[in-house]
């Protein structure tokens, strides 16, 4: 099985992808609801705010999930489930496939240069050390949004070193409504009697595996 299907299926089944999508929606609404261009906030302000707010929201959605651990890389915020670590990258809206990793931060450059067995690249050594963790595959959560009209973009993928001007991803997929129902929402079986409507909210838990992250 190809890596993209392996990673996607595992993270999807656990509800990890749904949690990321939920965090992105909450962060975007918080930023656009809290900042005003009339008050002098600029696109740069929105960009920095969106990055910080998304990191905080991801911490929040995973705070009760021991399977997910905070796993920063060289100071870049990251979260890990099993063998997969996810870092954040804000991109120009509508241009996720136009990201130039060779012009990004040293950490993102190093991530884009990870070995990928299905598409090995002959890249020149740049002296960049990511201090990565053996056995961990680092993916990137690319996020963007526009205010008027409100539109959001969220993608997960494996970046590809593209100093050659080629494609920016070994693989990339959208985290939108096509990912289906949230597996963290488990139906609570009713117990008799059935006439009592005073029920608590449906619990939100990652499905899952008991392995150590």
Looking at the structure of the chain, the number of domains it has is 1
35 belongs to a structural domain: yes
Any residues with CB less than 8 A from the CB of 53 and at least 6 apart, and which?
27, 28, 30, 31
Give the DSSP letter of residue 151.
Answer: E
181 belongs to a structural domain: no
205 belongs to a structural domain: no
Give the pLDDT score at 124.
46
108 belongs to a structural domain: yes
The pTM score is 0.81
204 belongs to a structural domain: no
pLDDT tens profile 6-58: 999 999 999 999 999 999 999 999 888 877 777 777 777 777 888 899 999 99
Q: How far apart are CA 20 and CA 87, in angstroms?
A: 11
20 belongs to a structural domain: yes
Do residues 132 and 175 touch, judged by C-beta distance below 8 A?
Answer: no
Containing domain of residue 51, as a range? 3-174
Categorize the per-residue pLDDT at 207 as very low, low, confident or very high, splitting at 50, 70 and 90: low
pLDDT tens profile 68-79: 999 999 999 999
13 DSSP β-pair partners:
none
User: Is the pLDDT assigned to residue 186 strictly greater than 90?
Assistant: no
**170 three-state secondary structure:** strand
182 belongs to a structural domain: no
12 belongs to a structural domain: yes
Do residues 120 and 64 touch, judged by C-beta distance below 8 A?
Answer: no
């Amino acid at each position: 099985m190809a890596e993209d299907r392996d990673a996607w299926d595992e993270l999807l089944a656990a509800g990890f992808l749904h949690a990321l999508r939920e965090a992105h929606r909450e962060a975007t609404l918080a930023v656009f609801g809290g900042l005003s261009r009339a008050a002098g906030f600029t696109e740069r302000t929105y960009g920095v705010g969106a990055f910080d707010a998304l990191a905080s929201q991801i911490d929040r959605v995973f705070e009760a999930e021991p399977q997910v651990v905070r796993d920063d890389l060289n100071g870049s915020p990251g979260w890990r489930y099993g063998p997969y670590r996810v870092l954040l990258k804000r991109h120009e809206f509508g241009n996720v496939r136009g990201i130039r990793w060779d012009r990004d931060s040293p950490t993102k450059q190093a991530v884009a240069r990870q070995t990928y067995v299905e598409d090995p690249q002959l890249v020149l050594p740049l002296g960049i050390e990511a201090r990565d963790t053996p056995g961990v595959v680092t993916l990137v959560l690319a996020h963007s949004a526009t205010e008027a009209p409100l539109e959001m973009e969220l993608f997960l993928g494996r970046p590809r070193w593209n100093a050659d001007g080629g494609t920016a991803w070994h693989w990339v997929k959208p985290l939108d409504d096509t990912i289906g129902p949230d597996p963290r929402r488990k139906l609570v079986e009713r117990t008799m009697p059935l006439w009592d409507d005073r029920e608590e909210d449906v619990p939100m838990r990652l499905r899952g595996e008991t392995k150590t992250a």
